[in-house]
Copies of this chain bind each other. A is one copy, B any other.
Amino acid sequence: MGTTQLESVQEPKYWHLKTVLSEALDSEFSVGEILPNERDLAARFGVARATLRQALEQLELEGRLQRRRGVGTTVAPPRMGVSLGTGPHTWPGGSEDAWQPVDCTAAVPPPAVADALETGREEPVHIVRRSRVSHGRPVAAELLYIPQPSVPELSAGIEAPSGAAHARAVLRELQRLEPERQENAVELGSAGADEAKELDRLPGAPVLVVTTRFVAGGRAAALSVATYRADTCRLTFGDSEGVEIHAGMQGQAS
């Protein structure tokens, strides 16, 4: 990586820096390789550390870098494709289902969730926590809200076992319903303290929040709120999956 000095331009330094680094990443580094530390890099480019960091943040947001406190900055692998399974017959607990139950509690959900489920705002629901792992790394954390009427066999024990076993039991019951369709939405969010820990990231890290409303018999049978790591994941849906489209497709032609 040359000691390329920044020309005087009417373009923010951090932006130009990002471009230079991005090119260096393509040509002179390989995946997993560690970069020089921030103080050295800043000195090498003749900028303050804060400015250098602004460029690194951008590159991390784009999934090109990975930074870990106490360790260093490494070149990130291309984002992995993660299937959303958006067909009407891919329901929680199904066979393909890549999720792993963690535990299950019963509580009153946030108002927005209650509204989407069309339950009363004070009405407790089952809340199944699940996590999703891909290529050995945690990629997503989910909260699955299930109204009592969706799993009538379990309506009694509210102060239930609350472990992974109970979560599986709830999912099994949910399977008895006949899937009709699902409604999905994805938006940008930032990881809360809890999700951050589960995803092995710092609080505030960018995440893709996928909310799915499962409909059966004209009623909302369940609501899933899944938060995916935005730095490492490319969400696919509509029978893609392994398709080799990503990275480098942004930017104007010629």
Contacts and interface: CB of A to CB of B under 8 A. Distances in A.
Contact of A187 (B58, B79, B86, B254): B79
Nearest to A116: B245
A250 interface: yes
A188 B249 CA distance: 13
A142 to B, nearest CB: 12
A13 interface: no
A15 B105 contact: no
Interface in A110-127: 110-113, 115-116, 127
Interface string A128-161: 0000000000000001000000000000000000
Copies in the complex: 2
A249 B113 contact: yes
A240 B110 contact: no
Contacts of A187: 63, 79, 208, 230, 233-235, 246
Given A108-B254, A244-B115, A190 B58 contact: yes
Contacts of A236: 183-185
A243 B107 contact: no
A9 interface: no
Contact of A253 (B63, B127, B204, B248): B127
Contacts of A79: 187
Contacts of A185: 81, 234-237, 240, 243, 245-246
Interface string A32-53: 0000000000000000000000
Interface in A210-249: 211, 213, 223, 225, 227, 230-231, 233-240, 243-249
Given A203-B15, A213-B240, A245-B112, A61 B190 contact: yes
Contact of A188 (B204, B206, B223, B254): B206
A136 B254 CA distance: 30
Given A112-B246, A185-B240, 18 more contacts: A61-B188, A86-B238, A111-B248, A112-B245, A112-B249, A116-B244, A127-B253, A183-B236, A183-B243, A184-B236, A185-B236, A186-B208, A187-B208, A187-B234, A213-B245, A223-B245, A225-B250, A227-B250
